[in-house]
């Protein structure tokens, strides 16, 4: 893979915000017919980035309190 697919990355972030499970993205990796690996990976990266963003925000909020 050369670079992250920006559209798929944003969809991964949106999926996290909407409450989708990580399992649903992993399941897409094993879908029949096979999913586009680059887009699936990019979605996974977006999902995980959104999770880390939320964790950082929670950590920051807890330090301020």
Tell me, what's the pLDDT at 40?
A: 86
User: What residues have CB less than 8 Å from 29, skipping those under 6 apart?
Assistant: 35, 37, 40
pTM metric for this prediction: 0.82
Q: What is the dihedral of CA 54, 59, 63, 65, to 10 degrees?
A: 50
Instruction: Classify the C-alpha dihedral 52-53-57-58 as positive or negative.
Output: negative
List of the chain residues with pLDDT < 70: 1, 64-65
């Amino acid at each position: 893979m050369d670079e992250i697919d920006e559209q798929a990355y944003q969809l991964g972030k949106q999926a996290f915000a909407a409450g989708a499970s990580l399992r649903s993205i992993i399941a897409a990796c094993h879908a029949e017919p096979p999913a586009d690996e680059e887009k699936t990976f990019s979605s996974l990266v977006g999902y995980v980035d959104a999770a880390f963003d939320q964790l950082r925000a929670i950590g920051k909020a807890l330090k301020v309190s």
